[in-house]
Structure 1
Amino acid sequence: MGVIRAEAGAVASDVRLSGEIQAEKSVGLAFRINGRVSERNVNVGDRISAGQVVARLDPTLERNELTAAQASLNAARGELDTARNTFTRQERLMAQGFTTRPRFDQALRARETAQAAVENAEARVELARDRLAFTELRAGVPGVVTARSIEPGEVVQPGQVVITMAREEGRDAVFQVPARLLEDHAGTYRVRVALADNPAVSAIGTVREVAIQADPATRAFPVKVSLTDPPEAMRLGATVTGVLEISTPSIIAIPASALTQQGATPAVWVVDPATSTVSLRPVDVLRFDPDKVIVAHGLEPGDIVVSAGVQALHPGQRVRQLPARSAARGGPA
């Protein structure tokens, strides 16, 4: 009776996927105020630097507000100068006894009121300057424009994203991975990424994020792979292929001839070394290969499994073992 001795191993399977290069981080640019767009200086695909103006609003209203605020400030400063002079005169007369306390207090209050009016006017000028500056939309970080949603003449609202840009410091390869490949969360994932039209351009990546919800259209899970030092040719939007190396620990590979059934459940005959009798044991099959079966659960390292003649056995039957050989360890498939 041919038997094998089960040994634990790992099975690595290469899964080929198709995906695209995306930015690791995207930034949405929006105006802080509402207004009518007068300029849009960038298009999709343009590279922009930090501080670059990407769009402008018509600044007429904000310039008028700034002019009015500056005029109010000048008037308030004139009133403050008059109030200060009046208070200085009343202070001198008070020291000489030539004025009354009510008139002195009135001059003091007038100076304080004029000072507050100047501070309020200065704040209005700063606010008007800020609003005028907000008519220019500037990029805070360098990157590449990936989307735009405005044209000159359109009216935009505060906070409305009008330009989307991809930051330059990181790139992901994004793949749609079937759920069955992600069921074993104990596995480890390494990805080799290459351009679809030029496989010689490649990079190594690590899985950065696995979506917790499947894409409604594909029923697959988006997996983001962070690329390590990607080549310049791997531009945003480029189509790439990825080889996902999934390593599953604690499995046992047995010959296909050793597999039988217990009802509708896969099973194998296991030999008791003390009594040389066999018993049927159900197993969980991870994968069927042409010449072997990958068992995920049901067998332990060291178990003696009948590998030939399984159709003629019955529970408790005594068998004579031929010299045992080890089960083939799981290798790359």
Structure 2
Amino acid sequence: MLSVRSCLKAASLAALVVFVAGCDSQKDGDNAAAQQQQAPATQVNFVEVQPQTIGLVAELPGRTVAYRKADVRPQVDGIIQERNFTEGATVKAGQQLYQIDQSVYLANVDAAQADLARARATLDQATKTRARYDKLIKTQAVSEQTRDDAIAAEAQAKASVAAARAQVDTARINLQYTTVTAPIPGKIGASSVTEGALVTANQEMALATITQLDPIYVDVTQAGGRLMRIKQGIDSGKIKSAPDGEGVDVRLMIDSTSDQYSHIGKLQFSDVTVNETTGTVRLRAVFDNPDQVLLPGMFVRAFVEQGEVDNAYLVPQRAVMRRPDGSAYVYTISSDDKVEARALTIEQSKGEDWIVTKGLNPGDRIIVDGLQLVGPGKPVKPVAVKGDDSAKPASR
């Protein structure tokens, strides 16, 4: 009997211990939940965005190209007597560069003029003969055949005069060609000949090369697909193009110095074909180059204006994240200070920002710092970032 009572007493004590332990465990869980609910919200920095009209500017690689370039070659044969320029100097159009010996060409002019005088004398005689026969034919003093021969002789004499006059013109032109002049203004390079050298008409080797540097061309390349999207945006009204008759502004950065070029250029044309190898389209701009800072062959970066986008947002690049599939999104702060994920459609970059065309609303608060500490649905303590601070990470 005592044994049964002892067993019942021991069982009651064991149950009491288990019940107390269970209560303690539940109490500890409730305390942990309460502590979690009372945890302070994470402080994050945000920027508030508003829709605006944003200009699209494409940064494109390019290279400078001479506005004009001319190889100077002789157009007559002869010996170089003079060189009348300094290598590397700037020359004007029409300035004398070389003098070829004129002796033979002066003689040719004299000979051609003598032939012209002879032809004119023959014509004068033929004209008088034909006029005399015109009077005699009325009295039948000469035959019709004789008069016809006189008319033909006069016509031949006129043709001889015309041919002799052409020979005089040719001789004079060749004489002028003995003075070799600059066809365009610009800087002239090294001379390939010196005084005493024999040159021939239209020889393969150029005597010198002149390069016009002011103005100067800048050729840049843009992806054909990107250019097509811009044109489609303009056609649909999504992107505003430059007004008709106004050139598109182009700004320039010189790669060697990373300085902005002081003059603004104008886009002149774009190719109508896409390069099959690179898939790009060539654009050409023209720039004033009075100080000749730009030289042909320099690598540059051009900033080409390509229209405007209405109702777009500028979002700091560091606030934008990417999913595994490449789609872009940001964290925004709701009205009750909780984190929301928002998918974006990005047009292109502009400086340290992205131009966003879809996914945002006016007044949205976008988290720019503290992204790694938060997630969708979590409460945050928002702190606004103003002015230049929006472009800098917040200190922690």
Same fold (TM over 0.5): yes
SS of match in other structure, 1:205: coil
Structure with larger Rg: 2
Return the TM-score normalized by structure 2.
0.54
Whose helix proportion is higher, 1 or 2?
2
Q: Does 1:205 align with 2:263?
A: yes
Q: Does 1:38 align with 2:80?
A: yes
Matching residue of 1:155: 200
Give the CA deviation at 1:270: 3.3
| Residues 252, 49 of structure 1: alpha-carbon distance in 2 compared, 3 angstrom cutoff | closer
How far, CA to CA, are the matches of 1:225 and 1:330 in structure 2? 38
Residue 70 of structure 1, aligned match among 113, 123, 131: 113
SS of match in other structure, 1:76: helix
User: Could you tell me which amino acid in structure 2 is paired with residue 153 of structure 1?
Assistant: L
Matching residue of 1:217: none
Q: Does 1:164 align with 2:209?
A: yes
User: Could you tell me which amino acid in structure 1 is paired with residue 91 of structure 2?
Assistant: I
| Residues 276, 159 of structure 1: alpha-carbon distance in 2 compared, 3 angstrom cutoff | same
How far, CA to CA, are the matches of 1:188 and 1:52 in structure 2? 35
Residue 295 of structure 1, aligned match among 324, 343, 354: 354
Give the CA deviation at 1:73: 2.2
Residue 366 of structure 2, aligned match among 295, 300, 305: 305
How far, CA to CA, are the matches of 1:255 and 1:89 in structure 2? 101
State the percentage of identical aligned residues. Answer: 17
Give the CA deviation at 1:313: 2.5
Give the CA deviation at 1:46: 2.8
Equivalent residues of 1:29, 1:163 under 8 A apart:
yes
Higher relative contact order (CA 8 A, sep 6+): 1
Matching residue of 2:323: 262
Please give the residue correspondences for 1:322-333 in structure 2 after superposition, counting only pairs within 5 Å: 322=381, 325=384
Return the TM-score normalized by structure 1.
0.62
How far, CA to CA, are the matches of 2:261 and 2:337 in structure 1? 56
Please give the residue correspondences for 1:24-173 in structure 2 after superposition, counting only pairs within 5 Å: 24-31=67-74, 33-39=75-81, 40-59=83-102, 62-140=105-183, 142-151=185-194, 152-157=197-202, 161-167=206-212, 170-172=214-216
Equivalent residues of 2:191, 2:207 under 8 A apart:
yes
Residue by residue, what CA displacement relative to the aligned partner does 1:154-175 show, whole Å, maximum 9, x if unpaired? 434179754332448x34497x
How far, CA to CA, are the matches of 2:390 and 2:337 in structure 1? 33
Equivalent residues of 2:126, 2:154 under 8 A apart:
yes
How far, CA to CA, are the matches of 2:84 and 2:164 in structure 1? 35
User: Could you tell me which amino acid in structure 1 is paired with residue 287 of structure 2?
Assistant: S
Aligned length: 305
SS of match in other structure, 1:71: helix
Identify the range of structure 1 (115-124 vs 266-275) with the bigger mean alpha-carbon deviation. 266-275
SS of match in other structure, 2:198: coil
Give the CA deviation at 1:205: 0.9
How far, CA to CA, are the matches of 1:147 and 1:51 in structure 2? 18
How far, CA to CA, are the matches of 2:125 and 2:211 in structure 1? 56
Structure 2 stretches of 5 or more lacking a match? 1-40, 231-238, 240-247, 276-281
How far, CA to CA, are the matches of 1:47 and 1:306 in structure 2? 59
Whose strand proportion is higher, 1 or 2?
1
SS of match in other structure, 2:173: helix
User: Could you tell me which amino acid in structure 1 is paired with residue 177 of structure 2?
Assistant: F
How far, CA to CA, are the matches of 2:253 and 2:113 in structure 1? 62
Give the CA deviation at 1:120: 1.9
Equivalent residues of 1:268, 1:305 under 8 A apart:
yes
